[in-house]
């Protein structure tokens, strides 16, 4: 199976490595043609404003929305969660396909980064996450299920074919959420 990773900016190589480790064929997606050839998509962490500018410049916004509407499984981590959210505090949504509100960099600056284990519904064992300038969920809309919380705040959510996390599991090779994504195929 071909697992796409949006490779415009951010930690796409780390996601590709995790996908390869669990048996998928990672494909770096940079345009609509590349998107058309994958079965699912991971939108990595990085800088959401830069990612949005590049997605618009490469005419990827409409194709990504269309593939999501047709049921393609998508997993967004950190900035990936921000660009999938319908509401972004102090910013404009990019894809706007998941009925959640997010606040960018809500867990603090780079120096405030931390790692934590979270218990995720549907995944056996704990999932280790790296929180780097992570977004915080401000509200959860209709049809969105909270799969994990950290200190009372949602950090992993699911809505149909969409999966998001506030943290980066890929930076330490954590594959539980990637397996969860592939199980949606």
Nearest to 168 by CA among 1, 18, 3: 18
Instruction: Residue 128: count other Cβ atoms within 10 Å of its Cβ.
Output: 17
Reply yes or no on whether 170 is catalytic: yes
User: Cα(first)–Cα(last) distance of the chain, in Å?
Assistant: 9
Q: Which of 78, 150, 174, 178 is catalytic?
A: 78
Closest C-alpha to 86, from 71, 111, 68: 68
Tokens of 63: 């194709």
* 78 belongs to the catalytic site: yes
Residue 61: its H or E element? helix 61-69
Catalytic entry in 103, 158, 170, 174 = 170
168 is catalytic: yes
Catalytic residue of the set 15, 150, 168, 178: 168
Q: How many whole angstroms separate alpha carbon 89 and alpha carbon 82? A: 10
Give the active site residues.
78, 168, 170
């Amino acid at each position: 199976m071909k697992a796409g990773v949006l490779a415009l900016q951010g930690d796409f190589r780390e996601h590709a490595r995790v996908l390869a480790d669990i048996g998928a064929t990672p494909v770096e997606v940079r345009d609509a043609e590349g998107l058309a050839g994958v079965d699912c998509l991971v939108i990595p962490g990085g800088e959401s404003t830069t990612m949005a500018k590049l997605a618009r410049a490469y005419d990827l916004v409409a194709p990504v929305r269309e593939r999501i509407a047709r049921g393609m499984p998508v997993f967004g981590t950190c900035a990936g969660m921000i660009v999938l959210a319908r509401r972004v505090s102090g910013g404009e949504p990019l894809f706007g396909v998941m009925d959640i509100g997010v606040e960018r960099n809500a867990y603090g600056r780079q120096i405030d980064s931390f790692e934590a284990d979270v218990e995720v519904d549907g995944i056996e064992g704990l999932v280790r996450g790296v929180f780097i300038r992570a977004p915080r969920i401000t509200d959860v809309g209709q049809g969105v299920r909270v799969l994990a919380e950290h200190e009372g705040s949602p950090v992993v959510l699911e809505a149909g074919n969409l999966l998001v996390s506030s943290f980066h599991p890929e930076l330490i090779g954590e594959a539980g959420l990637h397996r969860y994504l592939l199980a949606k195929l």
